[in-house]
Amino acid sequence: MSYRKQQDKLRKIADIIAELDTGKKLTNLIPGTTGDDPLVEMDVDPNTLDISRFYQRQFSVGALNSYKQYNPQLARHIVWAQRPQRLGGQRPTIDGQHTAGLGIYAGLTSMRSLCLVHPEDRTLEECIEVESRLFYAYNTARKNPTRIDVYRAGLCFDDPEAVRFQDILESCNLKIEGLGDEHGDEFATTTASRFIKTIEQYGDTHRAYIPKAVNYIRRHWGKQSGFKYRDDFIHGLVTLLVFLDEGRDCKGAGLKNKKTDMLQWMETIMPHIGIQQFVRNTAGGNTHYKIVHNIIEMYNGSDNTSIGRDLLHKNGIWNEAEVIETRKERLKKVAAGEYVNDCNHFIAFSGQKTEVSTASDQKLACGYLVERKQISGSGAIGFVYGSGDNESKIAIINDQIESIDDWLIFGTVQFGRVTSANFAIDIFYKLIITF
């Protein structure tokens, strides 16, 4: 039955707040209101609005193109400031610059807005400080919807991705935030981000392995009191099970005896080891690969046919010791142009966390790759296309790099063909340079 056909469980917000208050869960919340300079609701002509180069983000061409067309149903109020007339009466936009841009392109001369009206005696420096504080609050204090929230809404109109998530949850007898099996077991986290990654990686081609991994956990550890399912461990187990079935040795043959011995060990020895041992030291990127390595190391410690790191690496379960080179080696190779010769196009990475797409039309975000290494900062991502010679392209990239003084990472990547995310990440790790 469609999710939207189920009972619409409406509740009064006031009742929820009352319950939270009675349960003494609103520990940091103070009754009443705070804040100076209340915002005034009014219509504004977007053509009259400005952008401050001090605190506002630059326009994202990719974001504008992704919206395709202005949709008043999706448009939030534009937040802007009216500066004193004696200072010029400028109207810097604090939030909603892309909404304003879409409105201008749509030919609108009146849009919904909230205005911060500065007192006439306020100095320019004071105006900038108040505006920047409000910009900071708008971009840090708001709670954005989680992927679970998005899936919950998507089920109401049978979004394929949301339906797949719901179906796999039910097949695993798991639940999270009102989704999945109503009577199922719970995750150890409230986001299930690793479970989502598991579905993204294996949900189409190896879907059956996900409930197989969950049921393996349930059979051996799930009966413990208060047990909750770690989604990172699920991801690691699915990766291991796929490897055992589809992995190939150096001659291209199946794993045969290695698989048999490993499965026997998983049924007899592995259940007596605490899950915490398998997930230790796996934070950061490629957690599922690290978990597989931990499991294999314990397996190799017994009297079994060993499975080496090289074999795992050749089957796509990366050995980071082979992927991540030393900073000195990377600098030498970048300086020598080893990574950039004969490239059809280049991508220069900065520390900025922003979504971009490659020329091969992949759903690959360079900002996401940066985020995997927990690197933050600002900068720009530059693209160089065309058939020009390499020296010209490299010169352009170098100019981009030299024009930004706060880069945390940079590199160049060649995509001569349709590129998988794993392949791109592999290259990215080799090129990362941290100052």
Return the H-helix or E-strand segment holding 134: helix 124-140
Please report whether residue 26 resides in a domain. no
Do both 123 and 155 map to the same domain? Answer: no
**Do 102 and 201 have their domain in common?**
no
Distance of alpha carbon 277 from alpha carbon 281, whole angstroms: 9
Q: Which of 108, 140, 172 is the last residue of a domain?
A: 140
Let me know whether 202 and 185 are in one domain.
yes
Number of structural domains in the chain: 3
The residue from 140, 160, 183 where one domain ends is 140
In a domain, 183, yes or no: yes
Task: Say whether both 261 and 333 belong to one domain.
Answer: no
Do 110 and 167 sit in the same domain of this protein? no
For the chain, how many residues are written? 435
CA distances (Å), origin 205, targets 172, 229, 235, 322, 431: 17, 23, 15, 27, 30
Tell me, yes or no, whether 316 and 185 share the same domain.
yes
For the entire predicted model, the pTM comes to: 0.64
Mark whether 272 and 398 lie in a shared domain.
no
177 and 113 together in one domain: no
Please name the residue ranges forming H helices in 156-256: 160-171, 193-202, 209-220, 231-246
pLDDT at 135: 85
User: Which CATH number fits the domain that encloses residue 102?
Assistant: 3.90.1530.10
- Which of 76, 105, 140 terminates a domain? The answer is 140
- Whole-angstrom Cα distance, residue 186 to residue 192? 10
Q: How far apart are CA 434 and CA 17, in angstroms?
A: 46
How many CA within 13 A on the CB side of residue 354?
19
CB atoms within 10 A of CB 174: 24
| Residues 154 and 276 placed together within one structural domain of the fold | yes
C-alpha to C-alpha distance for 331 and 136, rounded to whole angstroms: 36
At residue 213's C-alpha, the angle toward residues 207 and 217, to 5°, is 155
> Is 25 within a domain?
no
DSSP tag of 271: G
Q: Across the beta sheet with 78-82, what order do the strands follow?
A: 40-44, 111-117, 78-82, 93-95
- Assess if residue 128 is contained within a domain: yes
Per-residue pLDDT of the chain (435 residues; tens, 9 = 90+): 455 555 567 788 898 888 888 888 888 888 887 777 889 999 999 999 998 876 776 677 777 888 889 999 989 899 999 999 999 999 999 999 899 999 999 999 999 999 999 999 999 989 988 988 888 888 777 777 888 988 988 888 889 999 999 999 999 999 998 899 989 999 999 889 999 999 999 999 999 999 999 999 999 999 999 999 999 999 999 999 999 999 988 888 888 888 999 999 999 999 999 999 999 988 877 899 999 999 999 998 866 668 888 888 888 887 766 555 554 565 555 455 444 332 322 333 333 333 333 333 222 223 223 222 222 333 333 333 333 444 444 454 445 444 433 333 334 444 444 444 445 444 544 444 332
Do 218 and 277 share a structural domain? yes
In a domain, 22, yes or no: no
Q: What is the pLDDT of residue 121?
A: 94
Cα(415)–Cα(424) distance, rounded to whole angstroms?
8
In a domain, 163, yes or no: yes
In a domain, 184, yes or no: yes
Place of tokens 């998005």: 150
The verdict on residue 23 lying in a domain is no
pLDDT of residue 321: 62
- Checking DSSP bridges between strand 111-117 and strand 40-44, what pairing results, if any? antiparallel
What was the pLDDT predicted at 346?
Answer: 33
Q: What is the pLDDT of residue 137?
A: 84
Report how far Cα 67 is from the mean position of its chain's Cα atoms: 20
Q: What is the pLDDT of residue 325?
A: 52
- Phi/psi at 116 (nearest 5 deg)? -95, 110
Would residue 216 be called left, alpha or beta, if left means φ above 0 and alpha means ψ between -120 and 50 degrees? alpha
Domain with 200, as residue range(s), is 147-321
Same domain (yes/no): 227, 290: yes
Same domain, 221 and 238: yes
